[in-house]
Each structure stands twice: as C-alpha cells, then as structure tokens.
Amino acid sequence: MHRSRGTTLLALALALALSISSIAVAQTKTVGYPGLGLEPGTPGGTLTLALGDSPPRFFYYGEISQPIQLLSQQMFDSLVEYDLETYDLIPALAESWDVSDDGTVYTFNLRQGVTWHDGEPFTADDVVFTYEQIITNPEARAGDAAQFTYTVDGETRQVTFEALDEHTVRMTLPAPSPVFLLQQRFFIMPKHALLPFSVEGGAEPAEINDAWPTSVSPSTVVGTGPFRLSAYVPGQLVRLERNPDYWKADEAGTPLPYFERLEFLIVQGTEAQTAQFLAGNIDQLNISGAQFPDFKSRELAGAGFSVIESPALFGSPPHLAFNFNAADSDLAELFSNAEFRRAMEFAVDRERVIEDVYNGLAELPGTPTAPVNAAFYEDTTGLFNMYDLSAAAAALDALGLVDTNNNGVRNISASRELEFTLTYGNDSAVFTDIATIIQNDFAEIGVRVNLQGIQASQLLGTGLSGDYEAIVVALGNLPDPELRKPIWQPGGSLYYWHRATQPASPGEAPNFDAMEPWEVRIWEIFDANSTEMDAALRAERYREWQRLNAEYAPVIMIAKPGNVAAVYDTVDNFVYSLGVIPGYNPVPFYFRR
C-alpha cells in the first residue's frame, strides 16, 4: 500500500514522542550546605589531586587499595550517604526507604531515571546483584560478607535480597540491626558489565576479583557517580570526566559536579606530593601536623593557598602491632603475651609523637574510638602505660627478658637476642618519624629494632599477608564501631595481628580455639551489638570493648591526628575529605573561583 511522505513523517513523530515519554526522567536531588558556607558554583575547569600509587585495578571490591577507594568515591554511588554537615544518613540511590515494625525488613525505593555511565538504566537488579554476587561473596577481597551474617539462637543466618520491581529492593534481616542503614554505603555495581565475573554468570567465586583490570578500555568501567573514567596513563595519571547525566543539582538548579574533569596525578611519597603542590601542579593536599608549620608560614607569606584544620571523626590513628603469628616462633610466643605488649607500651612516647610529629595537631587516641565520638568514646587514657622507660625496663625484667651477656640487648634465651623488624611506610614522613622514635626508645630499654620501609599504601596488605614481625599501620575511625567490625572483632577479615583467629575458609566461623579469653569477650560484644537495639546497652558494651583493648593492648594506639589540608585559593566550596569514606564526598561541590 502506498503511504504519503507526510503520513510517514507523522507516524515517525508520534513514535518518537511515545518513545521519549516512556523514558524515565531522573529524580534529581537538590542539595546544598549553606551551613558549611557552600554557595552555587560555576561549571567547568579541571581539578588536580594526588594519588599515592597506581591503582592495581578499577574494581572497588577486587582489592583493598587506597587508590581504588579514592577513584571509586567519584565514580560510584551508594543507596544512602552522609549529610556533609551533620553526618546523618540521607537518601542517595535510594530515594526513600521503609522499615517494618519489627526492624527486620527494609524496603528501598530506588531513584528513577538514573543511568550508568554507558547509558544503561540503573535498576533493582543492579542492587541485588551487587549484594548477592559481590559484597556477600566471601571470596571478594574487598567484600564484606560478615556484615550480612547474623547469629540468631546459636544459628548462622544471612540477610536476603529481593528485587520487587525495577525500582524496589527488599532486604530481610534475620534479626533487627541498629546500624543496618549505616552499612548501606556500599558502592553499587552494574550487573550488565560484571555478570561474566560472577557466580550467577558462570564464574568461580574468586573470579569476581578479576574484573576491570587497568588494561581495560575506560569506557567499560561504568558507575552512576559524578565522574566517569576517561583515561589512565600507567604510573602517571588517572583522568575522570564529568558525568553529564548525574542525578544531583545545587539549590540554583545547576547540575553537579561543577568541575569538568578530575586529574589524579600518581605521585608517591609525602615529599614528592608536597613538591608538586607547592609547584602549583596539585590543587589540594591533605597534610600532616608535621607539615603544618611550613605550610602555614607559606600561607601567611602569600603563597596563594589556605591551610585548614579541624577535629577528626574520620581519619586514621596510627598504631603499633606485633604479629601474634610471626613466622619466628620465639617472637610469636612473645608477641602473643599481653604482658610483653604492655611492657613495650611504656616505651611508646605518645606525647612526643603528638608534639614533634604532629606539631600538637593531634591528641591521645581512643582504643580505638575517636575522642570526638561522644556516642561511643570511652576515655581509657587512665589505663594507658604512658611513656616511662624505667617502668618498661622493669616490666621486661619481670618477664625474664634480661641482657645475659652485657652487650646492651636483652635476650629471649641464652642464644637469642630480643630483636625484630619493624615495618613502616617510608614514603610517609609521619610513619618514618614514628618508626624512628620507636626504634630509638626501644633501644634505650635493650630491644633491638631493625626498620623495614615499604610504601604506605602496601602496609595493610602486608599486615594481612602476615609477612611482618611488627608494623605501624593506621586504620580509620567511623561513627559506629559496628562499621569497623572486620578490623576489631577477633576473627574478622582485617584482624591482621592475630590471623590464627580467622576462619579456615572465608564465610566459616572464626577459630575460637586460637582466641584468648579477652578476645572471645570482644567477639561476643560485637556479635551481640550487631542485633542490639538498646542504644544505651550497645554503648556500654562498646565501652567495655575499649577498656579491654586498653588493658590487653592487642595493638598499641599512638595518636589521633586532626584534619589538616592545604587548598589553593582558586578552589572554592572546599570541605575536608579523606576521599576513602564511602558516602562522604564533597568533591562535586568544589569549583574554580
């Protein structure tokens, strides 16, 4: 049948109109923080930041890596996020949620119209896939299956996930959890891109870690976040470009983020990063108290940047850890002895570290809860063995660790001196100074310490591998101790100083036979608090945990540094960010003045 050209064009126009009307318009979230002094910004330009090492891959859950965390913060979103000013939880990819009266069923209503960087729609299937195939996969190196495993009436039970429709996800808990929403800051991943690496897609569980190696085309790494991967030059830079379809806008209606590009220069080491910043090649740099006097004097001399300091809730207080399972059996036996660790605590000069290393921009630490965290912090400083070399020497004498041949070094046995290696981050001025202070003070009490420097980004991985004797590591604080359960609950995936407590296979019960009685009690505290809804009881249990940490010193907490950053005056709307806290990302608000 013959159809006129006008009729054909009309039919095409109607079809196009119907097609357009069927496309969901993104539920744009309007955000603003006038209380933080943020103002509507001007789009455009490039923000240049430092990346301390090359990313080993681009898949967030494939490896515990600070470079991956920093990049993922800009490329991916979570169901909920932090209010930048109050730290309250607010909607993100979940536009809203409902909780059943008994606290065991969470129904998340997803933000509609959100798309992945490749244009594919974001749906409930992506959320369920992320939780079932990645986060709760015990083989995912940076997953967190333990957070979704509950002990109820002596039985191990799992949280279940279900897509009710394209925009609704239901999560059912075996028992109520006081922090379940806080845990939902996990980055959501695209099912269509990662299915081949999953069990659902026919792969082995561990193959999920193979996703998105750095050799892939940038266009294959897709998130829903404010920026998308644009280019990677190994050993030099990672470039992200603005996501034009991002679902946030400022109060004036201007889409976020403001910057057109983020460039992360790969610069290893404190000195090199400082040099790049002072040369104007990096726009913003988080610095330590040790760097504060130099940076502040430059600021006052008109260098064109500002130094900003504030108390820290987040942030990583350094600690000294001894390997309970060291390859050297003599050292392992010694390090496992709380009396030895407490003796050595007398030789850790916290006050000197605070004054000389951090220039006073730090405080005595919690064990390990941040002092600023009023909800949970227990002041255990009265239980500390504060610096006293005479007391340290007397405590070691009492343990029979004496210098039997008068050469200045104590002996473990007649043929064995008390000597071990201390691993630290030699590209960090803070870690280097702390390690040197420890080495010198330990020598004063007859303990020989040999320093072994590695890149700071490799410290946690080295701890998890067990390939160390003693180590200085810094692990961050979060608002609720439950969020750090993998670190502080014996048997947890990051409880690296006593790896014998970890399960024989991922996902199994921890090795209680390897635990000391105080470790069993700490395990019980975390296990009970996972489902305890009484806020006062939870807080008291966590305070008991902090007292146990102070009394038995599984690690020796050294100091809690404040937040200090330097940022050029051409960058406006600056809010301090560690860059590695999922759900806390002020970078989309930054703009070029």
CATH number at residue 232: 3.40.190.10
Q: Answer yes or no: is pLDDT of 330 > 90.
A: yes
* Same domain? 452 vs 499: yes
Q: Over the stretch 218-261, which tens digit does the pLDDT of each residue have?
A: 999 999 999 999 999 999 999 999 999 999 999 999 999 999 99
Please state, for a pLDDT cut of 90, what percent of the chain lies above it: 84
* Same domain? 354 vs 405: yes
Decide: helix, strand or coil at residue 358. coil
* Same domain? 297 vs 324: no
pLDDT band at 23 (very low <50, low <70, confident <90, very high): very low
pLDDT band at 305 (very low <50, low <70, confident <90, very high): very high
Decide: helix, strand or coil at residue 407. coil
What pLDDT, on a 0 to 100 scale, did the predictor assign at position 531? 86
Which residues does residue 213 pair with via DSSP β-bridges, in sequence order? 57
* Same domain? 189 vs 101: yes
Decide: helix, strand or coil at residue 169. strand
CATH number at residue 434: 3.10.105.10
Tokens standing for residue 108: 């998340």
Q: Mark residue 68 as left, alpha or beta (left: phi above 0; alpha: psi -120 to 50; beta: remaining).
A: alpha
Q: Answer yes or no: is pLDDT of 22 > 50.
A: no
* Same domain? 272 vs 401: no
Instruction: Specify if 537 maps to a domain.
Output: yes
Q: Answer yes or no: is pLDDT of 2 > 50.
A: no
The Cα 131–Cα 196 span in angstroms is 16
DSSP string computed for 282-321: -SEEE--GGGHHHHHHHHHTT-SEEEEEE--SSS--EEEE
Q: Specify the range with the lowest mean pLDDT, choosing from 188-197, 211-220, 481-490.
A: 481-490
What pLDDT, on a 0 to 100 scale, did the predictor assign at position 18? 35
For the chain, how many structural domains are there in total? 3
Q: Answer yes or no: is pLDDT of 444 > 90.
A: yes
Instruction: Specify if 46 maps to a domain.
Output: no
The mean pLDDT value of the chain amounts to 93
Please report where in the chains the tokens 């379809």 appear, as a residue.
245
Q: Burial letters for 420-458: b for 16+ Cβ neighbours within 10 Å, e otherwise?
A: bbbbbbbbbbbbbbbbebbbebbeebbbbbeebebbbbb
Instruction: Specify if 24 maps to a domain.
Output: no
Nearest to 320 by CA among 437, 477, 145: 437
* Same domain? 251 vs 160: no
Last-in-domain residue among 182, 210, 238: 210
Contacts of 333 (CB under 8 A, 6+ apart): none
**2 or 96: which carries more pLDDT confidence?**
96
pLDDT band at 3 (very low <50, low <70, confident <90, very high): very low
Q: Over the stretch 50-73, which tens digit does the pLDDT of each residue have?
A: 999 999 999 999 998 989 999 999
* Same domain? 554 vs 417: yes
Q: Over the stretch 569-582, which tens digit does the pLDDT of each residue have?
A: 999 999 998 778 88
Q: Over the stretch 268-287, which tens digit does the pLDDT of each residue have?
A: 988 999 999 999 999 999 99
User: Range of 305's domain?
Assistant: 225-311+566-592
Instruction: Specify if 135 maps to a domain.
Output: yes
Q: Answer yes or no: is pLDDT of 137 > 90.
A: yes
> Does residue 557 contact residue 268 with C-beta atoms inside 8 Å?
no
Instruction: Specify if 60 maps to a domain.
Output: no
* Same domain? 277 vs 186: no
What pLDDT, on a 0 to 100 scale, did the predictor assign at position 25? 54
* Same domain? 158 vs 258: no
Q: Answer yes or no: is pLDDT of 17 > 80.
A: no
* Same domain? 205 vs 279: no
Q: Over the stretch 149-165, which tens digit does the pLDDT of each residue have?
A: 888 888 889 999 999 99
Instruction: Specify if 341 maps to a domain.
Output: yes
Instruction: Specify if 53 maps to a domain.
Output: no
* Same domain? 83 vs 180: yes
Q: Answer yes or no: is pLDDT of 21 > 90.
A: no
> Does residue 492 contact residue 482 with C-beta atoms inside 8 Å?
no
* Same domain? 301 vs 229: yes
Contacts of 384 (CB under 8 A, 6+ apart): 345, 350, 364, 550
Instruction: Specify if 29 maps to a domain.
Output: no
CATH number at residue 132: 3.90.76.10
**4 or 239: which carries more pLDDT confidence?**
239
pTM, two decimals, is 0.80
Please state, for a pLDDT cut of 70, what percent of the chain lies above it: 96
What pLDDT, on a 0 to 100 scale, did the predictor assign at position 26? 66
